[in-house]
Amino acid sequence: MMQLDATRMAHTQVDATRMANAIRGLAMDAVEKAKSGHPGLPMGAADMATVLFTQFLKFDAATPSWPDRDRFVLSAGHGSMLLYALLYLTGNSEMTLDQIKQFRQVDSLTPGHPENFRTNGIETTTGPLGQGISTAVGMALAEKMLAAEFGKKIVDHHTFVLASDGDLMEGVSQEAIAMAGHWKLNKMIVLYDDNGISIDGPTSISDSVDQVKRFKSAGWAAEKIDGQDQAAIAAAITRAKKSSKPTLIACRTTIGFGAPHKAGTAKAHGEALGAEELKAAKENLGISLEPFTVPDDVLKAWREAGSRGAAARQEWEGRLAELGSRKRAEFERRLRHERPASLAKAVRAYKKELLEKPMVAATRKSSEAVIEVIAGAMPMEFLAGSADLTGSNNNKAKSATAFSAKTPKGRFIHYGIREHGMAAAMNGIFLHGGFAPNGATFLVFTDYARPAMRLAALMGAGVVYVMTHDSIGLGEDGPTHQPVEHLAALRAIPNMRVFRPCDSIEVAECWELALNRIDGPTVLALTRQNLPQLRTNAPNENPCQQGAYELVAAQGEAKATLFASGSEVEIAVAAQKQLAERGIASRVVSVPSLELLLAQPEAKRAAIIGNAPVKVAIEAAVRWGWDAVIGQDGEFVGMHSFGESGPAKDLYKHFGITAEAAVNAVLKRVS
């Protein structure tokens, strides 16, 4: 049984303890009412949150998206009631007590885990452990880069994170802290809720990592304090703000602090305390038994904390006004994720150029060429990077220099061999604002980055994944490196756009669509191997935006339609010619985005798919998803297994992904 430590409480301000208890009370009540949720974290972390929000965090509750606010990321998203309580207490206009009473109900602003796209004042969606701390690295990175560009008068804020044991056990946290340490993101401060309890019991049953030593090994400042001692917390944050390194403050806390029987145990983690324990906890903490009650003086103190930053915000607005209209407009445009007007023009001109000088190249190389055009139009906001495959992914503009702690104006990021950390950081960069981030690796390694990519889709983050080596066409590296199921697996994610362009013109068009998509992520799947330029027109209207279009019409009434994406469109065109030689007319439909085709209005979709009696899909990947286009009895020329190691041409033959196979598929039906 846990008792409050009277000595310890004497060391802290009574008022501040009462303020922390207001968080505890709301958290207990909301979880109790929902009969579901996590009271333990908010109760344990209430002191940290109180110190941070009343003494340090630069924010203005009335203007939650003020650009130069400090960011607070609740990486331990299951403790969402901590955030909702803070939003309500500090005076966020939408977060009413009614919303708190609707905790975890459909359509409320208080879902089980924090959702930034739903609730104003929440910086990022968290819940899947490890994501918050890794996303925060991207926010702190964006701050550093933007500050170097626009000056500290305009950009000068901290990124605070509250992380749990689980966040630090997840592997992605290692990628994140290694990057933050390497980049010396000294304005990132992690409060680690070191409560020693996870769902299965004491963390000692599964863990014995010394987190302070671990973070130090990654270039962080790190120390351990009593996380229930508000003075100690304040002193540690003060030290952290002065450090030249990012800082971990391991705060020893008691999960479910205040609950007489469940505190310090896994029972306080993920379920309602129950009426009896709740009552006893409230008595123990000296707070009202009436649910959802905050004493007037406590609420007033919290509201004052919530408006503490108003003056700072006004001063900042003054400085922004002094910036000069042009630079100010640029800053604001960047934060809105609006593309410069010059982009569309430049891409349009480049497409015309391609028509005149067709390009035979791998689409990763076509992409490199388009990137030159894009980076020309938006050199400071186009923020590329690669997980240590820069020369293979070809997404570095010639003009871009490497970002580092010493060169914060560099616009190419060497993420290291950290696909997951890269994707999470990109989420943070986008959410922070000011940049159009894109990150690169081989398509097969989207598997490593998937949890962060899913969050991008859920949050509607407009990031771009440059995924090269997109099929068995990568050749000799073999099945561990050859994606076969990845197109299907990515297309299945709601709000994820997957483009697999077939030539240099489609590459330009898909890049433009990707950059203009600021409400969701885009995968560009690009080849290692050379492809011809197939397009013979470059209309101002972008045909890729409907997912698919007739690339080559049939000469005569079409007996078959050949659908293909990316590198297999070349095969479809060759098959079409062979069929024509046999007197069989067929259409070729290029499908740069299968899921976008399927999302078209029924009539448009039907028109694109057409009604030729035989439908063949050609894609060097598994069939999943294609039945929606070609039907159950459609012919599929593609992969039915993992790949193999060998030269690309040999593999296409080995697996029967050839024009001859497509022709035979048609001939089987047309006789």
38 assigned binding-site residue:
yes
| Range 309-313 contact pairs with CB under 8 angstroms and sequence separation of 24 or more | 309/57, 309/58, 309/59, 309/60, 309/66, 309/69, 310/60, 310/62, 310/63, 312/58, 312/60, 313/60, 313/63, 313/66, 313/68, 313/69
- Asked whether the beta carbons of 429 and 139 are under 8 A apart, the reply is yes
Taking CB under 8 A as the binding criterion, the range among 3-11, 338-346, 476-484, 569-577 that sits at the site for its own copies is 476-484
Q: How many residues lie near its own copies (CB under 8 A)?
A: 111
229 assigned binding-site residue:
no
- Asked whether the beta carbons of 480 and 319 are under 8 A apart, the reply is no
- Asked whether the beta carbons of 122 and 116 are under 8 A apart, the reply is yes
Question: Minimum CB separation from its own copies for residue 55, in Å?
Answer: 30
Q: What's the token pair of residue 329? A: 């407009």
Question: Minimum CB separation from its own copies for residue 286, in Å?
Answer: 30
- Figure out which of the listed residues 476, 519, 539, 582 binds its own copies, where binding follows CB under 8 A: 476
445 assigned binding-site residue:
yes
Measured from the CB atom, the residue of 654 and 668 that comes closer to its own copies is: 654
Question: Minimum CB separation from its own copies for residue 131, in Å?
Answer: 9
- Figure out which of the listed residues 64, 127, 428, 439 binds its own copies, where binding follows CB under 8 A: 127
C-alpha separations of 532 from 314, 361, 535 in Å: 57, 7, 9
- Which amino acid appears at position 203 of this protein? T
Measured from the CB atom, the residue of 456 and 538 that comes closer to its own copies is: 456
Q: What angle do CA 196, 127, 515 make, to 5 degrees?
A: 140
Binders of its own copies in range 370-389 (CB under 8 A):
386, 388-389
264 assigned binding-site residue:
no
Q: Does 105 bind its own copies (CB under 8 A)?
A: yes
Rounded Cα distance between 351 and 537, Å, is 9
Binders of its own copies in range 493-552 (CB under 8 A):
493-495
Q: Which of 293, 294, 258 is nearest to 278 (CA)?
A: 258
Rounded Cα distance between 15 and 29, Å, is 21
- Figure out which of the listed residues 126, 228, 394, 542 binds its own copies, where binding follows CB under 8 A: 126
Q: What's the token pair of residue 124? A: 């990022």
Is-catalytic flag, 419?
A: yes
Residue span 12-41 as binding mask against its own copies, x where in contact by CB under 8 A, dash where not:
----------------------x-xx----
Phi, psi of 188 (to 5 degrees): -100, 125
In sequence order, the 6+-apart residues with CB closer than 8 A to the CB of 238 are none
Q: What's the token pair of residue 654? A: 């080995």
- Which amino acid appears at position 563 of this protein? F
Local structure of 244: helix, strand or coil: coil
Local structure of 659: helix, strand or coil: helix
414 assigned binding-site residue:
no
128 assigned binding-site residue:
yes
242 exposed, middle or buried (CB, 10 Å; 0-12, 13-18, 19+)?
exposed
Rounded Cα distance between 239 and 223, Å, is 10
Q: Does 443 bind its own copies (CB under 8 A)?
A: no
- Figure out which of the listed residues 341, 360, 492, 607 binds its own copies, where binding follows CB under 8 A: 492
354 assigned binding-site residue:
no
Q: Does 481 bind its own copies (CB under 8 A)?
A: yes
- Asked whether the beta carbons of 372 and 378 are under 8 A apart, the reply is no
Q: Does 226 bind its own copies (CB under 8 A)?
A: no
Measured from the CB atom, the residue of 376 and 451 that comes closer to its own copies is: 451
Of 32, 368, 419, 506, catalytic: 419
Q: What's the token pair of residue 483? A: 């994606």
Question: Minimum CB separation from its own copies for residue 560, in Å?
Answer: 17
Local structure of 588: helix, strand or coil: strand
Binders of its own copies in range 416-435 (CB under 8 A):
416-418, 420-421
Q: Does 669 bind its own copies (CB under 8 A)?
A: no
Taking CB under 8 A as the binding criterion, the range among 40-48, 314-322, 507-515, 639-647 that sits at the site for its own copies is 639-647
Question: Minimum CB separation from its own copies for residue 626, in Å?
Answer: 8
- Figure out which of the listed residues 219, 309, 501, 521 binds its own copies, where binding follows CB under 8 A: 219
Measured from the CB atom, the residue of 490 and 515 that comes closer to its own copies is: 490
Binders of its own copies in range 30-89 (CB under 8 A):
34, 36-37, 77
Q: Does 309 bind its own copies (CB under 8 A)?
A: no
Binders of its own copies in range 158-217 (CB under 8 A):
165-166, 169-175, 178-179, 181-182, 198-201, 203, 205-211, 213-214, 216-217
- The residues with which 202 forms a beta bridge, in sequence order, are 197
Binders of its own copies in range 603-632 (CB under 8 A):
622-625, 627-629, 631-632
Residues making up the annotated binding site for Mg(2+) are 165, 195, 197
List the catalytic residues.
419
